[in-house]
Amino acid sequence: MAKKNKKSPQIMFIDNDEHVRDSLKVFFDSSQMDLLIFQSASEGLNSLKYQKIDMVISDYFLPDMNGVEFLNRVAKTNPDITRILMATIINDDLKLEIIKAGIDRFIEKPLTITSLDIIISELTK
């Protein structure tokens, strides 16, 4: 399938796990995607003031707020951004919270780079 002449998506990734962030840096350095990686929601929210972002991928467990709250704040200021939430534990309450927040996709951790790459490709077509 031929790719349209389209600028690569600008993606923000928020995860408090340093190993996850480092793995993503290594993988995405060799890809055509622009990736901004932060460890906290407040860093991500601050960056959104200065950066044009197409997609935000956030872990649920962040040091300063949960991922749903963070993605809700993102949507208030940037309603066109695709929002993805990741979590290791999901229960009915979290499923309901995700639906109410209108989050575009949920990824269960542990995630693989391949599955993340597929999801990003699907959502940026």
List the CATH number of the domain containing 93.
3.40.50.2300
Look at residue 125 and tell me if it is in a domain: no
pLDDT in tens, 36-55: 999 999 999 999 999 999 99
pLDDT > 90: percent of the chain:
50
Q: How many domains is the chain built from?
A: 1
Does residue 46 sit within a domain?
Answer: yes
Residue 124 domain-assigned? no
Long-range contacts of 89-96 (CB under 8 A, 24+ apart): 94/60, 94/68
Nearest CA-CA partner of 114 in 18, 19, 24, 12: 24
Which tokens belong to 2?
A: 């031929």
**Domain coverage including residue 107:** 10-119
CB 70 within 8 A of CB 45: yes
Give residue-wise pLDDT tens across range 15-37.
988 888 888 787 777 666 778 99
What's the CA gap between 9 and 7, in Å, rounded? 6
Would 51 be classed as within a structural domain? Answer: yes
The answer as to whether 64 is a domain residue is: yes
